[in-house]
Structure 1
Amino acid sequence: MLFAQRRGTAWRALSLVAAIVAGLFLSPISQDQAEAAPGPSFTNPVVGAPNSADPTLVQYNGNYYYVATTWSSDVVMRRSATIAGLRSAPEQLVLRTGGDTMWAPHLEMVGNRWYLYYSVEMSGAPRRTHVAESAGSDPMGPYTYRGVVNLMPNNGWAIDASLLKLNGALYMTFSAFSPVDNLQSLYIAPMASPVQASAFGTRISAPTLAWERQDGAVNEGTFALQRNGRTFLTYSGSHCNGPNYKVGMLEYRGGDPLAQGSWSKFANPIFQRNDAAGVYGPGHHSFFTSPDGTETWIAYHANSSASQGCGTSRTTRVQKISWNADGTPNLGVPVSTSTVIAGPSGETGSTPRVKIRNQHSDLCLDDYNFGAAPGAEVRQWTCNNLPVQDWYLTAVGDGYYRIANGHSGLCLDNKDFGTAPGSVVQQWTCNDLAVQQWRLTTTNGRTTLVNRHSGLCLDNYNFGTAPGSEVRQWTCNGLAVQQWNVA
């Protein structure tokens, strides 16, 4: 135990030094440059197994909406105001497809309605693209099934569909097998409406490059990225059964979008495995913008082992992208699951970020030893600028708040539903239960935090003053050990 504590202390000291050094080198060049604050920090994966492959992540009206492969007949959706909160956001059923297996759902807004495209196999029939339409502008629905999008002749196989808005017209890009050479290729079809194609698709890319043919020749999982008048169509190449699944790109060069000659393929992948970071098979992705519109982010799935393949081991990861001097997107390299990432710019507008400092100890409420799993400890530590001491308050009504940690994304929780003085406090997956609801009452700048379930106050246990001092719940008494500066 002594060794573990010292290791944690050293880890914290090194992290704090690293944060200070990074701040010196990454400071803005001009202090006149106003930038929105980043959101709560997080680590990947942002959504764990099993419903976490082939993700589509959109940002709309201050919330993120997330859908992914479920391997069942159901489409479920998560909603969160922050990327950090996606991990603990509940899954809500939005559509029952009636098929055997659903995968690669894609969420797209056209006009004031949302359209949910998904690939499904219906009782052994060819895998095809289906679509459902929302009743209004809420991405959570309700949704009404609108049928099969007929993209290939003879009710042919067509999967991984996504919309492309180009030159004032609507198209659908998807993956299908060519009748000429039987290669799984990228196709595009014109759309008469968001639910109906006006013609069958034509091929615009085949897996002919060496990097597209590892473990199997595949082009699939298209997603458009448009900026400064240029249209890029990104896609996944090679087979997902191996670690070399990766992302490639086409660019529209003008002319008829249905003609292969109107598209130019980049010779090399733009996103691929990072063995040093333990990331394998990154692909089948989507892009979204930060709430303030200044940043572009990628959501993708990947494995943590080279031996994992196309199954439920794949998890959703998120990171910010940049742009090259020539105007092309720079996706960088997939980061490790231990890399702490600052959230997208502008997230904090809807969720206040605070430090919680004890009046008696002058220490800050802290995610002890950088915990990230449910059950992670909460203690007090010397106040610093690390995300482990950032807490985000979300009002839940009646004067109560849910309090989530900026590093772990977990919520401050009354462990095991305790009601006796001395009951333990921990971090746990955020939920709607009273054990995670805290009433904040401020008098003369000092705040008490009362747990809704126990009725006890958050307390500096045993009047600790040293870094690592315990935090528990105790009968409310008005002493400085139960008074916190929340700011």
Structure 2
Amino acid sequence: MTLRRLACALASASMLSAAAAATDFANPLVLQRADPHVTLHADGFYYYTATVPEYDRIELRRVRSLNELGKAEAKVVWRRHESGPMSRNIWAPELHHIDGKWYLYFTAGRADAPFDIRLYVLENAAANPLDGQWVEKGQLKTGWESFALDATTFSLKGQRYLAWTQRPPASGKHMTAVYIAKMDSPLSIAGPAVLLTKPDYGWEKIKFDVNEAPAVLARNGRVFMTYSASATDANYALGMLSASDSANLLDPSAWTKSPTPVLASSAATGQYGPGHNSFTTSPDGKTDILVYHARNYRDITGDSLHDPNRHTRAQAIRWRADGTPDFGVPVADAVR
């Protein structure tokens, strides 16, 4: 082999090794962090936030590789109030960069009513969201007042949308559904909310009637929206809606709902209750990645909401020939 051919072979092997490393995850990535949200920013860093088990603060981490998350500094950027709004059950933060500023969308209750939860927003104008000042921008109003959580935002063809979870207006049931609306600013929606999915199937109604935690991935001319269903124990699972990216996303009939979960517990891999995901990519943008939480045991003593061991995990997404994502099964823990 000539030196030139040897150099090319080594370079090719190095690129393949780097590509494999970018999607070979040492799961769990972060212990005791549920509802993970990852943003790969234009600066080449991954920014990570998640629900902490104490439900009392919002942390951010900044890394070059997802496998570095567990060892990265967790900087506390905001803490709950002692009383009043935003004083209990700080859940499901998501970090988004919009029009040159950073926004944290999160869920919070009150000390006198911990489960009377609503959506709130923080704003930061710094280039690095671990720096600068986070400013409270108040409640993100959805059009009616009821149990609301798990806001996410995405932009498609120049229009920004908000998707979130809420109890339907005047509903007598303890049920949650997923809604969508256009946004006219990072802090407000522009018009009426549209219900996209509510619990319809048996697997969405185990212990609780739940559709929550929407996450959006636009690929192959389609928009895929995952959501989580049922109780937050081993019954928790991911469902999915899909629509054409040229459709009116505010038209519920434009969306097709999968009748079965797209990711569920696996005794074979020892992973239980996968859900509340976000999407990101490898650093080169070529591989789509599912980031989610799951436990590595099935049986829970007491209320699953108070069990802290929902760990952050990641795995590469495979794509079927028809352009739809195949999430497979939640992968087993890495051998350490």
Settle same-fold status: TM greater than 0.5: yes
Amino acid at match of 1:67: T
Which of 36, 41, 45 pairs up with 1:63? 45
Which of 146, 168, 175 pairs up with 2:165? 175
1:104 to 2:92 alignment:
yes
The Cα shift of 1:138 comes to 1.7
* Deviations, residues 396-451 of structure 1 (Å, cap 9, x unaligned): xxxxxxxxxxxxxxxxxxxxxxxxxxxxxxxxxxxxxxxxxxxxxxxxxxxxxxxx
Whole-angstrom CA distance in 1 between matches of 2:121 and 2:97: 13
- Where does residue 16 of structure 1 map in the other structure? none
Which of 309, 314, 318 pairs up with 1:318? 314
Whole-angstrom CA distance in 1 between matches of 2:140 and 2:90: 15
Contact 2:25 2:314 in 1 (8 A): no
In the alignment, structure 2 segments of 5+ residues that lack a partner are 1-8, 82-86
What is the DSSP-based 3-state SS (H/G/I as helix, E as strand, rest coil) of the residue aligned with 1:127? strand
Whole-angstrom CA distance in 1 between matches of 2:299 and 2:202: 21
Amino acid at match of 2:60: M
Contact 2:164 2:180 in 1 (8 A): yes
The 3 A distance-change label for structure 1 pair 124 and 256 is farther
- Where does residue 235 of structure 2 map in the other structure? 244
Amino acid at match of 2:90: M
What is the DSSP-based 3-state SS (H/G/I as helix, E as strand, rest coil) of the residue aligned with 2:203? helix
What is the DSSP-based 3-state SS (H/G/I as helix, E as strand, rest coil) of the residue aligned with 2:150? strand
Amino acid at match of 2:75: Q
> How many percent of aligned residue pairs carry the same amino acid?
34
In the alignment, structure 1 segments of 5+ residues that lack a partner are 1-27, 340-371, 373-487
- Where does residue 330 of structure 1 map in the other structure? 326
- Where does residue 299 of structure 2 map in the other structure? 307
Whole-angstrom CA distance in 2 between matches of 1:164 and 1:338: 32
1:213 to 2:205 alignment:
yes
Superposed CA RMSD? 2.2
Amino acid at match of 1:258: L
Whole-angstrom CA distance in 1 between matches of 2:294 and 2:56: 23
The 3 A distance-change label for structure 1 pair 262 and 42 is closer
Amino acid at match of 1:248: G
The Cα shift of 1:34 comes to 6.4
Whole-angstrom CA distance in 2 between matches of 1:200 and 1:150: 11
The Cα shift of 1:76 comes to 0.8
- Where does residue 118 of structure 2 map in the other structure? 128
The 3 A distance-change label for structure 1 pair 81 and 149 is same
Which of 68, 75, 96 pairs up with 2:58? 75
1:85 to 2:68 alignment:
yes
The Cα shift of 1:172 comes to 0.8
- Where does residue 290 of structure 1 map in the other structure? 282
* Deviations, residues 207-232 of structure 1 (Å, cap 9, x unaligned): 10122112221100100001122111
Whole-angstrom CA distance in 2 between matches of 1:317 and 1:103: 18
Q: Which of the two has higher C-alpha Rg?
A: 1
What is the DSSP-based 3-state SS (H/G/I as helix, E as strand, rest coil) of the residue aligned with 1:277? coil
Whole-angstrom CA distance in 2 between matches of 1:279 and 1:168: 38
* Deviations, residues 238-282 of structure 1 (Å, cap 9, x unaligned): 111x31211111012454322322211111111111111110000
Whole-angstrom CA distance in 1 between matches of 2:15 and 2:75: 37
Contact 1:151 1:199 in 2 (8 A): no
The 3 A distance-change label for structure 1 pair 238 and 327 is same
Amino acid at match of 1:306: R
The Cα shift of 1:100 comes to 1.5
- Where does residue 84 of structure 2 map in the other structure? none
Contact 1:69 1:102 in 2 (8 A): yes
* Deviations, residues 185-218 of structure 1 (Å, cap 9, x unaligned): 1111221101112234221111101221122211
Contact 1:150 1:200 in 2 (8 A): no
The 3 A distance-change label for structure 1 pair 141 and 170 is farther
Amino acid at match of 2:261: P
What is the DSSP-based 3-state SS (H/G/I as helix, E as strand, rest coil) of the residue aligned with 2:40? strand
Contact 2:25 2:315 in 1 (8 A): no
Whole-angstrom CA distance in 2 between matches of 1:85 and 1:34: 20
Whole-angstrom CA distance in 2 between matches of 1:107 and 1:208: 30
Amino acid at match of 2:257: K
Q: Greater RCO between the two (CA within 8 Å, min separation 6)? A: 2
Whole-angstrom CA distance in 2 between matches of 1:135 and 1:279: 39
Contact 2:178 2:195 in 1 (8 A): yes
- Where does residue 193 of structure 2 map in the other structure? 201
The Cα shift of 1:299 comes to 1.0
- Where does residue 5 of structure 1 map in the other structure? none
Whole-angstrom CA distance in 1 between matches of 2:125 and 2:195: 33
- Count of residue pairs the alignment pairs up: 307
- The alignment's TM-score, normalised by the length of structure 2, stands at 0.85
Amino acid at match of 1:104: A
- The alignment's TM-score, normalised by the length of structure 1, stands at 0.60
Counting only pairs closer than 5 Å after superposition, residues 350-365 of structure 1 correspond to structure 2 as none
1:164 to 2:147 alignment:
no
Contact 1:160 1:222 in 2 (8 A): yes
What is the DSSP-based 3-state SS (H/G/I as helix, E as strand, rest coil) of the residue aligned with 2:292? strand
Whole-angstrom CA distance in 2 between matches of 1:141 and 1:120: 23
- Where does residue 138 of structure 2 map in the other structure? 147
Contact 1:135 1:141 in 2 (8 A): no
Amino acid at match of 1:206: K
